[in-house]
Amino acid sequence: MRYLKLLIIGAGSRGNAYARAIATSSKASVYAVAEPDPYKRQIFGQRFIWGEDGSPKAGQEFQDWRAWIEFETKRRSATGNGNSEGGENGLDGLLICTLDETHIEILSAISKAGLQDIHVLCEKPLALSVADCMSVYAARKNSPSIFSIGHVLRYSPHNLLLRRLIREDRVIGDVVSIEHTEPVGFWHFAHSYVRGNWRRTTTDGDGSLLTKSCHDLDFILWLLEQGEDDGCTDTPKRETLRTIFSSGHLTQFHRDRKPPAAGNATNCHSCPIEKDCIYSAVRIYRDQHLAKGKRGWPVKIVCPDIEDSYKTSPASADDHLLNRLREDYDSSSTPEQVASRPWYGRCVWECDNDVCDDQVVTITWDGNVLPSGSSGGRTATFHMISHTEEKTDRRGRIYGIHGEITYDTKTITVYSFETRQRSVIEVPKMPPEEEKAHGGGDYGLARAFIAAVDAVVNQGWEVKKAQREYVGCSQEDIVRTHAVVFAAEEARREEKIIKWKEWWSEKLKEAGK
């Protein structure tokens, strides 16, 4: 029985989140890290790999993923061992936790280097275009390894219970419709999607629906469509999805909305109305977080080394944060310079953002898909909205022929048409640290991935069986749920209804499948 060794590519927020989850596993550990930022790499290594008083061994620290591929290729050439044979520096799996646009490049490089026997968990989204998603599937279709995606909503105890109530216990009978909402939060949206890394559409014109909410559409499909039996077949028996439509806009964060009293200010630090502005960066990062001793997300995103400054003194940390927020661009800056990084002190009405802050997606299915065997279609509506108090506290309502379910991230309530009674379902309790991590989804995903890898490595399971049993979806499922997002964005951009069968058949044809 081999203790599994994992590589984290990217020591940012998501890399740290998964590393914390892995640390709770009794079957695996973070063995190596690949991260271009020396400070992030050092802190990550001290926290999860070699300890504060230790130092990295050969094969435990890489300046980026390319350096790891070069190292691993040479190691295999010298020893003749792949990951399945173990060895001192051999890895069983890796987690890709880098920025979205790098995922396809890393996955393609792994395939070209012949390292497809290494098990992979890739943060969502898989790629930024349908074509790239299909290329990943084509390259990995016959890969002898587990492949998982960061669709964390599938793995939270709350959502697993919700799915069981709907599909196994059938507490409201056949599902007719579902309404699901992701309230992003007004300042959270400003942080990530106006000033941050995800503020611009991709080359294919896809934006916040892909980067923020692709796992919400996956969640809906997982609730209503995907079954345990057919999750890993090459030809799923569920070509029932009929139409996809979407509408959405950038309603708030553009120059026409800028308060006149702000004048020509482009940065919160120099703005005359900063103290009264609800989107003040000083107010969000300093007053609401750092001044209250909160140095984690989002402060550490703005200043990854905030802890070092805080050790000197709280005043030093305050100065460091404000200096970072003063950073700005002007007319002399090139488009490449502006696009190359986030600008967390920039006025939200003067940014170069263009992604939707309000979007609705409607999905319909054909008839003859209900578990009872009766005829009748189903519908699902998803709403991503930034102008909310709650921050990603998802909520929804599921309508069935025998009752309805209302839910948020902490509660599930069932109303029965027969008894006219409302019952609150007890949701599994979890440690506070896990609950903060997508309602336990980060931990559930990491543990499911580790369990699948362990089943293959140590128990001799076939990959498809382990993928189905623990990951819960096939590589084709992963590509298909991403494709639904791209179809919705195409529907929004072109103001049309996507007829799924024809659209998906065309994409498969273009990919040569």
Contact 298, 285 (CB under 8 A): yes
Encoded amino acid at 510, one letter: E
pLDDT of 239 over the 80 cut? no
- The pLDDT-based confidence of 88 (bands split at 50, 70, 90) is low
| Rounded Cα–Cα distance for residues 295 and 155 (Å) | 27
For the record, the structure tokens of 152 come out as 């964390």
pLDDT single digits (tens) 401-436: 999 999 999 999 999 999 999 999 989 899 988 988
Contact 325, 302 (CB under 8 A): yes
pLDDT single digits (tens) 486-503: 999 999 999 999 999 999
pLDDT for the residue 83:
59
pLDDT for the residue 510:
83
pLDDT for the residue 368:
55
pLDDT single digits (tens) 352-380: 999 999 999 999 998 654 555 555 679 99
Q: What long-range pairs does 43-50 form, CB within 8 A, spacing at least 24?
A: 43/11, 44/8, 44/11, 44/15, 44/16, 44/19, 47/16, 47/19, 48/8, 48/19, 48/22, 48/23
| Rounded Cα–Cα distance for residues 302 and 197 (Å) | 11
- Radius of gyration of the chain from its Cα atoms, rounded to whole angstroms: 23
pLDDT for the residue 216:
97
Residue whose C-alpha is closest to residue 447's, from 463, 429, 470: 470
- The pLDDT-based confidence of 236 (bands split at 50, 70, 90) is very low
pLDDT of 68 over the 80 cut? yes
**Predicted TM-score (pTM) of this structure:** 0.92
- The pLDDT-based confidence of 237 (bands split at 50, 70, 90) is very low
| Rounded Cα–Cα distance for residues 403 and 264 (Å) | 55
**What average pLDDT does the segment 90-103 reach?**
95
**What average pLDDT does the segment 79-98 reach?**
77
pLDDT single digits (tens) 108-141: 999 999 999 999 999 999 999 999 999 988 888 7
List the domains of the chain with CATH numbers. Answer: 4-152+439-472 (3.40.50.720), 155-252+354-435+480-510 (3.30.360.10), 255-339 (no CATH)
pLDDT for the residue 124:
95
pLDDT of 240 over the 90 cut? no
pLDDT single digits (tens) 256-288: 999 999 999 999 999 999 999 999 999 999 999
- The pLDDT-based confidence of 233 (bands split at 50, 70, 90) is very low
- The pLDDT-based confidence of 232 (bands split at 50, 70, 90) is very low
pLDDT for the residue 316:
96
pLDDT single digits (tens) 445-464: 999 999 999 999 999 999 99
Our separate counts of H helices and E strands in the chain read 18, 15
pLDDT for the residue 423:
97
pLDDT for the residue 369:
47
Question: 203 vs 4, which has greater pLDDT?
Answer: 4
For the record, the structure tokens of 286 come out as 């300093």
Q: What is the dihedral of CA 218, 220, 221, 222, to 10 degrees?
A: 80
